[in-house]
Structure 1
Amino acid sequence: MPATNTSRRCRLTIEQKLVICTYAKKARAKESLTDVAEWATRTLKLKTPLSRQGAALIVKREAHWVATAESHRGRKQVVSLRHRKTDDIIMKEINDMEGTVEAVTGDVIRQRNGISQKRKHGEAASVDDDAVEEGRKKIRKLTDAYPRSEIYNFDETAFFFRQDAKTTLTQKKAVSGRKDPKNRITLALAVNADGPDKLPPLYIGSAAVLRPLQGRDVRAELGVIYKHSPKAWMTTSIFLEWLGEVNHQMWLKDRKILLLVDNVSSHVQPEVSFSNIRLAFLPKNTTSRLQPLDQGIIRSVKSKYSKKKVMDSVERYYDDRDQIKVDLYTALKWSKEAFDGVTSKTITNCWKHAGILSDRSRISSLLN
């Protein structure tokens, strides 16, 4: 089973935690942490039993509970410890600026304190503008013949599902990130031009059956597709298999679609044709500008996934639970939820930004 947050939490006030620490200190020579947890459950009449692990974490942080007891006594930390000091600082800044500054915004506060958001690493790519415009004209000739509901874009991306967030708030001029774990799989997405149709995400790992997926049907449980290749990359066989499944679904619905993909070796299949899919390739070296999924859809999915991962880590910290390494099943679940959370408006805006749809395709959509 994946290590996800599915069990009920035992939430305690700081006073209760100090009581547990005091009892544990007195009983340390006679009782185990399991005994301490059982004693706390009985004595404090906890609705959710305290686990041995929970008791160990509470006792380990005794100094922290003592230091914060006076200002937070009677509170459950999941609500107040997380935000109290930050809220006080922000409210002081707002009160100081009220009546002087025209509008108090987050940008104002950050600029006043020299706080900025820095990317830990990354690189920019340059594309020839003439090549982009020429490629845009070629693709528009293809999209002219289809209503927007029948125009799809498919693209894959490296998905480092244990990678830390790339940005952080800081007063420093630069931030050094930790070395990222090398847990990479491939994530492939497909969306249509008018937004509402998202095909099931395709994931490619390096093993046929990994431990977190043993005994699970991820297609039935999560609505995703999992394949494997030696290096967890897209391959010709996986792409053809995926195309065959999509073609069958379109045949069942009596739909004929235009599928736009980038011009990489695993996608190029000149001798293969499908009854309900017309495969078209975006011009080389233009995909960063012409591919709708690259205009913000993939970025949105990864951002939403990263937020889920960070919030789970924060919840674990403030609930005194161990931090975990995200397993593959949880990564599939969270990223599918992230993909589901991308709105039709975001998708249509990304298609518009790519500039590969003409007015004819819009008119065709209205007629259909």
Structure 2
Amino acid sequence: MPLRNLTLNERNKLINNVQIDKFKTKDAEVKFKVSRWTVSRCLNNSQEIDEAVQNGLGKRKRFERRPEVLDHDERVKKWILSCQDKGLPLSATLIIEYAKEEAENMDRDDLKCSWSWFSRFKERINLKLGRTNGEKKSVNLKIVEYWKTNVIPRIMIDWQSEFIYNCDETALFWRQIPVKTYFISKLDHSGTKIFHERISILFCVNRNGDKLPPLVINKAKKPQCFYANCLDNLFIQFSHQTNAWMNKELFVEWLTTFHNSLAVEGKKILLILDNFRGHRIVESDFPLITFKFLPSGTTSLTQPLDAGIIRSFKSKYLSLFVRKIISEINSTKHITEIVGAFNLLDALNWLDTAWKSVSSETIVNCWTHFGYKVDSQPIYDDDDGTNNLSHLLNNLTIETQPKHICWCVVNILDGFTVGYTFIRFFK
């Protein structure tokens, strides 16, 4: 029987079969096609094998036990973790060059940090390649903490959920196919034309999970694919700007429409938004809207739309876009012809469907994830007297005699009002 060289995952499975499933040594030999000495070695090294599998090294077939190699790996790994904390993107070339410097510092002339070394090093420390996401590394966490512990609770006390709104813009390359692809090794995998058409979209949602029609900003006022009343059945607003970007004029126009709808409904709302210069408007022009600007550079941790709402929309849009491609890919047309035939009106229909399919539950969860909770309570300083006053008011003794109702309202700190109702009945 030809014997096999087991991976660490297979060795871990063998150990579980013997120790947990009570396999006999002979049964393990037959199942994994190994000798009894291999079974014995696996059992003796069970703890080391388990740790290696937990660290993501399960696909390797042997341990690296040379101390000089492990020491060099540990130094390079420590540097990589340091770069991650500082937000520095790392390429293979950058890691290899640093590894060479470390080898020189250790007087390791025999260690040639080549691309082959890098390939084995990746396996040893479970190093992966991927894109960096978001802007968290550049956020001042102290400002975020202050916003979540002091500002958000006050917002949640002063405003009901249905009157708390958040708006933000995002870009959408509405017919861009993925750049990365899976391919069969050693076969041609040349790329194709990349479409760069972009639109900007302004989304607005409230804490209750309600959605406003998104404002779509295109370069052209009336694209060729448009026809009379073609947007009437879509849950969107359409506008145009030379570069398809949001600016102050478009924002004021959108706010005016929103403000007029609030006047009809007799509502006053709080609008949370970022410090983008296009948002800097004359606030007194919109008396039914109270503007609350987020701290600069913190939107990735404080803006609900950035907590996953926009991501959910784009995921659903991409799904519709890809389904359309799949439905036509079996024809004789090339992918460039298929995608090139899509027009902006198609994209707006997918956009409309995708935005409608973003659930209220998703929106509410994103608000909650960033700390906008209904039961939030502000954190007061110990010396402001608020906690003591609240305690005294809560423990007042109330006489129960009919005739008179007295309201006592106590103003506390900057604009906060704590109201207590005292019912006193007189004979």
TM-score (norm 2): 0.52
2:288 aligns with one of 276, 280, 304 = 276
Indicate conservation of the 8 Å contact 2:166/2:272, yes or no. yes
Answer yes or no: is 1:255 the counterpart of 2:270: no
What residue ranges of structure 2 are gaps of 5+ in the alignment?
Answer: 1-12, 18-57, 60-127, 378-427
**8 Å Cα contact 1:139-1:282 kept in structure 2:** no
CA offset at residue 246 of structure 1? 0.8
Q: Which residue of structure 2 lines up, in the alignment, with residue 366 of structure 1?
A: none
Opposite residue 258 of structure 1, the aligned amino acid is L
Specify the alignment match of 2:37 in structure 1.
Answer: none
Asked whether the equivalents of residues 273 and 293 of structure 2 are also in contact (C-alpha less than 8 Å), the reply is yes
Matched with 1:133 is 145
Matched, 1:153 2:192: no
- Percent of aligned positions that are identical: 35
The whole-number CA distance in structure 2 between the counterparts of 1:295 and 1:271 is 26
Please tell me whether residue 331 in structure 1 is matched to residue 335 in structure 2.
no
Q: Distance in 1 between matches of 2:129 and 2:363?
A: 27
Matched to 1:182, the amino acid is H
- Select the residue among 209, 218, 222 that pairs with 2:234: 222
Match for residue 356 of structure 2 among 326, 340, 359: 340
Q: Distance in 2 between matches of 1:232 and 1:201?
A: 14
Q: 2:207 aligns to what? A: 193
Q: Give the letter aligned to residue 213 of structure 1.
A: F
Aligned partner letter, 1:161: W
After superposition, give the CA deviation of every residue in 1:30-88 in whole Å (9 maximum; x if it has no partner).
xxxxxxxxxxxxxxxxxxxxxxxxxxxxxxxxxxxxxxxxxxxxxxxxxxxxxxxxxxx
Tell me the SS of whatever aligns to 2:256. Answer: helix
> Which residue pairs with 1:238 in the alignment?
250
Q: Tell me if structure 2 keeps the 8 A contact 1:297–1:346.
A: yes
Q: CA deviation at 1:258?
A: 0.8
Residue 204 of structure 2 aligns to a residue whose secondary structure is strand
Q: For 1:114-158, what per-residue CA distance to the aligned partner results, in whole angstroms no more than 9, with x for missing partners?
A: xxx986x55442122112112233243233211111111101101
Query: Residues of 1 paired with 2:339 and 2:163: CA distance?
Result: 42
Residues 118 and 167, structure 1, Cα contact 8 Å, conserved in 2:
no
1:207 aligns with 2:220: yes
> Amino acid of the residue matched to residue 339 of structure 2?
I
Q: Secondary structure at the match of 1:191?
A: strand
Contact 1:165 1:306 in 2 (8 A): no
Amino acid aligned to 2:360:
S
* d(CA) in 1 for partners of 2:317, 2:258: 25
Q: Does 1:353 align with 2:404?
A: no
Q: 1:221 is paired with a residue of what secondary structure?
A: coil
For residue 162 of structure 1, report the CA deviation from its aligned partner. Answer: 0.9
- Contact residue 185 and residue 203 of structure 1 kept, 8 A: yes
TM-superposed CA distance for 1:280, in Å, is 1.3
Comparing 123-132 with 227-236, greater Cα deviation is found at: 123-132
Structure number with bigger Rg: 2
- TM-score, with length taken from structure 1: 0.60
Amino acid in the other structure paired with 1:323: I
Deviation at 1:252?
1.1
Structure 1 residue 226: deviation in Å? 0.7
Q: Alpha-carbon deviations, 1:203-240, whole Å to 9, x = none?
A: 0011111112243442x221211111111110111111
Q: Deviations over 1:304-356 (max 9, x none)?
A: 00000101110112366762333111111101110110111111110011113
Using the alignment, how far apart are the partners of 1:235 and 1:278 within structure 2?
20
Query: Once superposed, what is the RMSD of the aligned Cα atoms?
Result: 3.3
- Which digits, 9 at most, give the CA deviation of each residue in 1:7-29, with x for residues without a partner? xxxxxxxxxxxxxxxxxxxxxxx
Give the C-alpha shift of residue 166 in structure 1. 7.0
Alpha-carbon distance between aligned partners in 2 of 1:344 and 1:352, rounded to the nearest angstrom = 12
